[in-house]
Amino acid sequence: MFIVAIIIYWDDVTKRTFYISSAVSPLPVFPIQDLETPLDLKSSSDQSNCSVKSNQTSLATAQKYILKDQGSNNHIFGQSSPTDLIVRQANRTDIVKELCLAKSSLNFPGKFKSFEKIPSRALDHLIVDDRHRVIYCFVPKVACTNWKRIMIVLSQNLKAPDGTPYRDPLAIPSYMSHNATLHLTFNRFWRRFGRASRRLMHHKLKTYTKFIFVRDPFVRLISAFRNKFDQPNEDFYRQFGSVMLQRYANISKPPGSAQEAFAAGIRPSFQNFVKYLLDSRTEKKESFNEHWRQVYRLCHPCQIEYDFIGKLETLDEDAEHLLRILGMDEQIRFPPGYRNRTAANWERNWFANVSLADRTKLYNLYEPDFRLFGYDKPETLYQK
């Protein structure tokens, strides 16, 4: 049984009611002897394929259980039946598999790179929990703050003021959830395991449950802009905002701080942000920041075969489905509702001042994410 706890974090949400099962019913963990099957660290027979296969057996068994257990209640997951949700997951994973084939019509940088060739620094979004045999690839602006809190609770890597491990995810300060030292990610394996690191990664990718949550690429960009540039953020202003103002707003000497800029009514526009993303100079200095880096570059779906692909647009149903597959539906209650959400129907307003040519270029830049994860091309954005 694979254990994951879920709470949901929408844009700027600060108060929600979430809980994990009480201390009377603690989260189960796997025996230590089950965590590390003895490996032949010299063998490389399982590294010949481009992608690391998923843990299909456990999920298939769980899905059969869902179908068998549905009884007369065909809508226990809200609007969709258990069968509908299984088909939904099959469709999502099949789309990724088909587009990752060499003969598919989709091509993008790194598509044919083997897992072995991905540098460790590019695996820093894959969080591993050995206690519950789970791997989560976090995508910024897709509920990742609270997902990281959950991973901390599961791993028991952080103690509360009373000296016991945190059990309430929301009791963990938000800034602590982003403390890299609290998460075991694949990019830290080399320092811990040396030459055995890649073999261990392969082993865990084949035997652990791997999941990811994604979001409409353009809506994710709007959400990132709202969070980082539509309100004072000193770090992002100094590193990115001031550059946008200089290059695209014709402000040769922008204010030195976000507070000064906002007080003077000066701030980057969404149009400036799009120009920055499309500017060839941007990635010559450094890679895209993780908040707007493409998902295919963060989570490598053509090299890692994810067992579950959730979407923010169907979050309630997907979370409930995943919890049931993982056998956690009795211990975890998924809280419905959200506020201040960046909605897809806002796209027309946000892109109103972006030229048709730049909209087209931006789609091309994020086309792999649109197609891999089954998002339609935003045709309305191509209307003048």
Q: If DSSP states are collapsed to H, E and C, what string results for the chain?
A: CCCCCCCCCCCCCCCCCCCCCCCCCCCCCCCHHHHCCCCCCCCCHHHCCCCECCCHHHHHHHHHHHHHHCCCCCCCECCECHHHHHHHHHHHHHHHHHHCCCCCCCCCCCCCCCHHHCCHHHHCCEEEECCCCEEEECCCCCCHHHHHHHHHHHHCCCECCCCCECCCHHHCCHHHHCCHHHCEEHHHHHHHHHHHHHHHHHHHHHHCEEEEEECCHHHHHHHHHHHHCCCCCHHHHHHHHHHHHHHHCCCCCCCCCHHHHHHCCCCCCHHHHHHHHHCCCHHHHCCCCCCCCCHHHHHCCCCECCCEEEEHHHHHHHHHHHHHHCCCCCCCCCCCCCCCCCCHHHHHHHCCCCCHHHHHHHHHHHHHHHHHCCCCCCHHHHCC
Which pLDDT does position 39 carry in this prediction? 39
Residue 263 makes CB contacts below 8 A (sequence gap 6+) with: none
Q: What is the pLDDT of residue 314?
A: 87
Q: Residue 141 — pLDDT band, cuts 50, 70, 90?
A: very high
Q: How does the average pLDDT of the chain come out, rounded?
A: 80
Q: Copy the structure tokens of residue 329.
A: 């539906």
Is pLDDT above 50 for 7?
Answer: no
pLDDT digits (tens, 9 = 90+) for 323-378: 777 766 666 554 444 555 666 678 889 999 999 999 999 999 999 999 999 999 99
Cα atoms in the 13 Å half-sphere on the side-chain side of 164: 5
pTM of the model: 0.80
Rounded distance, CA 318 to CA 306, Å?
14
Average pLDDT over residues 18-33: 37
Above 70 in pLDDT, residue 12? Answer: no
The answer to whether residue 153 scores a pLDDT higher than 60 is yes
Out of 124-128, 262-266, 312-316, which region has the weakest mean confidence (pLDDT)?
A: 312-316
Residue spans of the domains in the chain: they are 82-218+294-344, 221-285
Q: Is the pLDDT confidence value at 285 over 90?
A: no
For residue 150, the model assigns a pLDDT of 77
> 121-135, 155-169, 215-229, 264-278: which has the minimum mean pLDDT?
155-169
Greater pLDDT, 193 or 74: 193
Strand partners, 135: 128, 210
Residue 78: the pLDDT is: 54
Give 292-332 pLDDT, tens digit per residue.
999 999 999 999 999 999 998 988 788 788 777 776 666 65
Between 173 and 216, the more confident residue is: 216
- List pLDDT tens digits, range 81-121: 888 999 999 999 999 999 999 999 999 999 999 999 999 99
Lowest mean pLDDT among 77-81, 178-182, 371-375: 77-81
Q: State residue 68's pLDDT score.
A: 36
CB proximity list for 56: less than 8 A, separation 6 or greater: 307
Nearest to 224 by CA among 212, 208, 240: 240
Share of the chain above pLDDT 90, in %: 53
